[in-house]
Every structure is written in C-alpha cells, then in structure tokens.
C-alpha cells in the first residue's frame, strides 16, 4: 500500500531589507571593481575611458539608488491607547512615553499599541 503524504509548500524567499542591502552593496562593488579593472588595463585608449569610468560611477551610485527606500521615514499619527491623546511620531520609533498620561506606547506596523498587548503577542 502506498501511503499518502502531503508535502508542505515552503514559502518563497522574500526580498527583505537585509537582503536588498547586501545585494545593493554587492552589485555596487562588482561594478566598481569591473570599472577599475577596465580603466587600469585599457586606460591608455578611449575604450578604457568609455567603459571604465561609467562603471566606476555606476558602482558608487547604484547602491544609493537601490537603497533609497531604506532612507525614508513614515509619519505615524494616532491616539494614545490609554488616554486618547493625539500622538505623532515616526515609524522608526519602537516605544515612546505618552506626554499626557506618561504610559509607554509601542509602535508596530504603523499603529500605536499598548505595551501589554505587544508583549503577549
């Protein structure tokens, strides 16, 4: 008898911020080294300048272009979960203390949550 087994489908790899950072730095380094090698080996002729210098520049600029989303911050607005006072902060904040009631508020997924709710989940 043949036993039936269900295969669990593995989720695909996500392009998260750490992977995109490493990929951008790696691509920039690869382009910079290629431009440097071309400029140094074929630098006496026009081919070295035409291909080498743009590769050097692309190796420096490409990581900044690829990581431009990592340099932005979003503004989080909402009410304090304890006293309903309006709070405005950035998404880079992990925890803050409400200026009205003095209790700690957690910032997660663009929402303001009570600290007890975050520690239990």
Task: Give me the residue spans of the domains in the chain.
Answer: 17-71, 75-120
For residues 8-14, give the mean pLDDT: 57
pLDDT score recorded for residue 34: 92
Q: Global pTM?
A: 0.50
Residue 49 is given by DSSP the state: I
Task: Give the Cα-Cα-Cα angle 43, 44, 45 (nearest 5 degrees).
Answer: 95
| CATH fold for domain 75-120 | Rubrerythrin, domain 2 (2.20.28)
Percentage above 90 pLDDT, the chain: 18
């Amino acid at each position: 008898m043949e036993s039936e087994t269900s295969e669990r489908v593995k989720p695909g790899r996500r392009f998260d911020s750490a992977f995109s950072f490493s990929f951008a730095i790696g691509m920039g380094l690869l382009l910079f080294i290629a431009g440097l090698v071309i400029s140094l080996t074929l630098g006496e002729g026009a081919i070295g300048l035409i291909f080498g210098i743009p590769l050097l520049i692309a190796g420096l600029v490409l990581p900044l272009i690829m990581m431009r989303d990592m340099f932005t911050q979003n503004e989080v607005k909402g009410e304090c979960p304890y006293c309903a006072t309006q709070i405005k902060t950035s998404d880079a904040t992990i925890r803050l203390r409400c200026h009205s009631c003095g209790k700690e508020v957690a910032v997660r997924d663009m929402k303001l949550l009570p600290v007890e709710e975050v520690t239990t989940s």
